[in-house]
Amino acid sequence: MALKRKKWLCGKGLRRALALFLAVLTLWVVALTAPWDSVSAVFSSWESGADFAISVLRYELGRPNGEDGTLAGLNRWQTMVVRQSPLLLAGPPAPVETDNAVPPDDEEPTETVPQSNASADVVEQTIIPRGGSGYSHAAEVYIQNPTDAEVDVAAMAAAELPVSLGEDGPQVLIYHTHGSEAYTPDGSDVYTESSSYRTTDTNYNVVRVGDEMAKVLESYGITVLHDRSLYDYPSYNGAYGRSTQSVADYLARYPSIKVVLDVHRDALVGEDGTTYKVVTEVDGAKVAQVMMVVGTDQGGASHPNWRLNLTFAVKVQQALNASTPKLARAIAMRASRYNQQYLPGCLLVEVGSHGNTLQEAIGGGKLFAKTLAEVLKG
């Protein structure tokens, strides 16, 4: 009896060894005969247990990973094999949806990245749109419109202001999606770069410009909430996703906020590498030009009331043209919505460019804030 059991165990061991040998031989043959990309797809899932078995079976059946999991195209014996496997019949898992995904149109825009400011040659320029080429215009207001959306500038110029301030609580929110954006060092305005023309020192980047703009608005009796966070540091990518969540949180906490300004600076570099600054002269002093950027729904994300944002920008532009001619560049429309879907009073404001000095940017920002306050106070 013991002898029979010993023979049985020995036979079982031989069968297991033979099965293991055949399995290894099969994998070796697969590796020698299969296209490398298919082999890579199979072995990449080695550590995932059942996924590895599924990959091997899919290869044996001529259906590499990633293809349709239906039975179409299989012959009779392949179909029979698959029907014995609940895992294969289940097909690939469904994609996982997340609630905090950033809409495609709110991905970071392609940025003109200037070189180090150590040896930059800066050329002054005053940008004044002339004629209608490339612009929609009426009532001396010019709008650069590269989108497919049609706009009636005259109607917007004649419309009522779509923003009115309340009296209790914060009325204006200033924040900076790209808060580390900085200017050309000049005089005592010298900083340590975190990257080219950027610094985390809020005394020298666009956060400082926001500080000065807030002071002007407050001098008109407007209550300002200034978010001085650096949403673009340490990572530039994802800055809009982070800042839009903050804007939503602020508006939920302070429903009294009716105007939201995302203050940036532009970056203007010529094809030959020349750095440009945008300036105009006011009372004998050079100040940076400003530009309002208005988002739309042309990128595919929901923003049904973007024309109200554009109307707001047109009304402010009219006032700027009257009070400080040449301060404002043409309004720029964009396909992305740039966090402006929350309120008609949401705007992105570019104060100067990287070629401007900080003091020029502060001068332009203060003049913009002064006119904005006068518009809002009516």
DSSP 288-329: E-EEEEEE-STTSS--TTHHHHHHHHHHHHHHHHHHSTTSBP
Helices (H), the chain: 2-33, 36-43, 50-60, 76-83, 86-90, 153-158, 206-219, 239-253, 306-323, 358-377
Band the pLDDT of 363: cuts 50, 70, 90: very high
Instruction: Centre a 10 Å sphere on the Cβ of residue 201 and count the other Cβ atoms it contains.
Output: 16
Question: 3-class SS at 186?
Answer: strand
Residue 32's pLDDT is 56
Higher-pLDDT residue of 75 and 306 is 306
Average pLDDT over residues 289-298: 97
Band the pLDDT of 304: cuts 50, 70, 90: very high
Q: Minimal CA–CA distance to 312: which of 260, 249, 251, 365?
A: 260
Segment 334-349, tens digit of pLDDT = 999 999 999 999 999 9
Q: C-alpha dihedral over 123, 129, 134, 138, to 10 degrees?
A: 160
How far apart (Å, rounded) are the C-alpha atoms in residues 365 and 197? 19
How far apart (Å, rounded) are the C-alpha atoms in residues 239 and 95? 25
Taking the model in full, what pTM does it have? 0.71
Q: Check if the beta carbon of residue 331 is closer than 8 Å to that of residue 317.
A: yes
Segment 219-251, tens digit of pLDDT = 999 999 999 999 999 999 999 999 999 999 999
Give whichever of 86-95, 239-248, 269-278 has the largest mean pLDDT: 239-248
The C-alpha angle with vertex 180 and arms to 368 and 178, in degrees rounded to 5, equals 65
Band the pLDDT of 134: cuts 50, 70, 90: confident
